[in-house]
Amino acid sequence: MTTRVPLFIAGEFTQSNSQQWIDVTNPATQEVIAQVPCATQDEMDAALASAEKAFQSWKETPVSERARLMMRYQALLKEHHDEIAEILASETGKTFEDAKGDVWRGIEVVEHAANIPSLLMGETVENVARGIDSYSYTQPLGVCGGVTPFNFPAMIPLWMFPLAIACGNTFILKPSEQDPLTPTRLAELFVEAGAPEGVLQVLHGGKEQVDFILDTPAIRTISFVGSVPVAQYIYRRGTDNMKRVQAFAGAKNHCVIMPDANKQQVINNLVGASVGAAGQRCMAISVAVFVGKAKAWQSELAEALKGVKPGPWQDKNSAYGPLISPQAKQRVESMISKGEQEGAQLLVDGRDYKVEGYPDGNWVGPTFFSGVKPNMSIYQEEIFGPVLCAIEVDTLEEAIALVNANPFGNGTSIFTSNGAAARKYQHEIEVGQVGINIPIPVPLPFFSFTGWKNSFFGDLHAYGKQAVRFYTETKTITARWFESDIEASGPNMSIDL
């Protein structure tokens, strides 16, 4: 019998009464490995009631106890690291190494959440006026909501609920319906770590369940990660409903290659950053901008990309796995055909890729276009597949102008041995996360994940100090005590001031 993914409501894993179930498939074989429900209205109401009830006691739980929950959770996640990575690999098709990375980057955020007492510290100023002090506290908001994408089913849920809960909130998570087994395991381990009933709920489903989170007034915030159209929809509808919203969206990340860079390092880094994880990373490099004489390196890069072999996650030699679904494969292949029709030079073609023993997998081989122009659809749209587009320019200034004209602003990098060029790039580029000789500059959790422009809608970003501000309200107190009251309190008052 196929596994039916449970909902997690009021501290219990329960089977849904839904009539609507979605198949979860192994993307390397199309085998149905589980079915996930679309939670019913009653189930969503029960999740909300549980989260609201739990908030009343959780917000009063001392911050050091909340920190200790995160310490225990971090230890358990580490203990079960490989087991979670196996579940993750089986439902996403990611290689085992990549799946372990997905889990590890999430564990790091839990580690950060264990520092919550320091992160919550407010500010104080004595004597703002004679005899008057001011100080601020950060207090939790209530029930927070999160909606996550398929491509990092461990890391992205862990960007959200540990910090929100450490701040004293309760949380309703709606994970991607394409890989719900990993977030379910994360919830099981959270219970094992001692999470009190109701602080976390996991509701499954699609648009209807997301709309519940968007439209329910008692859910105070929504954290979203996914595609641009859905992020815009979430931001508009969420803010229209007067919620605090942070919506992380798609990307088109450029890597600028200066002729003074180390050629071999550039090629090695570009291969992994462009087609690794089948290009299904929001920080993947999808555009290589070759400056001046570096243009000549493209044929060597093409040869290196030809040597990259995707395959099943169980095979240690697989460089990356299949795309998440047959629809994703079809979309990526049709984008490749469009690029060819628009006149880009297809130096490596990943269409119709075959992996022995896996005839039904959603494979797309490494793909490399040279001579790409900014008006081509392969440049303008996020492909989200193992496809790298190369553009040639003559100067660093031209490269900067190109990147800044792009509507996305998630990540970018520059490869150079010239400090002045790197400094100019980091200063002038209108992108939120910049790598210098680092192709995928994802910040560690004590910073924040800071995409710009169409890659992010909102003000406060994920994890780091910004997330703590997102999940809390600041209360500022101005206090005066009258010395005359000390004397007024009677003969037993014998404190020397």
What residues line the site for ligand NAD (CB under 6 A)?
A: 147-152, 174, 176-177, 206-207, 210, 225-227, 230, 233, 248-251, 282, 382, 384, 410, 449, 451, 455
Range list of β-strands (E), 334-460: 345-348, 367-370, 387-393, 408-409, 411-415, 433-436, 452-453, 456-457
* CB-nearer residue toward ligand NAD: 230 or 388: 230
- Residue whose C-alpha is closest to residue 273's, from 142, 413, 124, 395: 413
What is the biggest distance separating any 2 CA atoms in the chain, rounded to whole angstroms?
Answer: 94
3-state class percentages of the chain: helix first, strand second, coil last, to nearest 5: 40, 25, 35
Least separation, in Å, of the C-beta of 94 and ligand NAD? 13
- How far apart are CB 338 and ligand NAD at their closest, in Å? 18
Paired with 14 in beta bridges are: 7
CA distance 387 to 94: 17
- Complex with ligand NAD: residue 210 or 440, whichever CB lies closer: 210
Q: Supply the minimum distance, in Å, between the C-beta of residue 270 and ligand NAD.
A: 19
Q: Which is nearer to ligand NAD, 153 or 365 (CB)?
A: 153
Nearest to 210 by CA among 182, 186, 188, 229: 229
Intra-chain end-to-end CA distance of the chain, in Å: 76
Compute the distance between CA of residue 187 and CA of residue 171 in angstroms, rounded to an integer. 12
Q: How far apart are CA 258 and CA 66, in angstroms?
A: 48
C-alpha distances out from residue 420 to 27, 70, 351, Å: 45, 42, 41
Instruction: Indicate the residue among 75 and 434 with the shorter CB distance to ligand NAD.
Output: 434
User: Would you say 36 or 120 has its CB closer to ligand NAD?
Assistant: 36
Q: How far is the CB of 222 from ligand NAD (least distance, A)?
A: 11
Judged by beta carbon, residue 151 or residue 370, the one nearer ligand NAD is: 151
Whose CA is closest to 277, among 323, 308, 224?
323
Minimum distance between the CB of residue 276 and ligand NAD, rounded to whole angstroms?
14
SS3 289: strand
Kind and range of the H or E run holding 320: none
Nearer to ligand NAD, 176 or 201 (CB): 176
Residue nearest to ligand NAD (CB): 226
Tell me the C-alpha distance between 87 and 105, whole Å: 16
Cβ at position 281, least distance to ligand NAD in Å: 7
Instruction: Name the minimum Å distance from CB 159 to ligand NAD.
Output: 8
Q: Which residues are catalytic?
A: 282
Which residue intervals of 5-58 are DSSP H helices? 41-58
Angle, CA of 443, 259 and 373, to the nearest 5°: 80
Residues 411, 440 contacting (CB under 8 angstroms): yes
Distance CA 145, CA 164 (A): 9
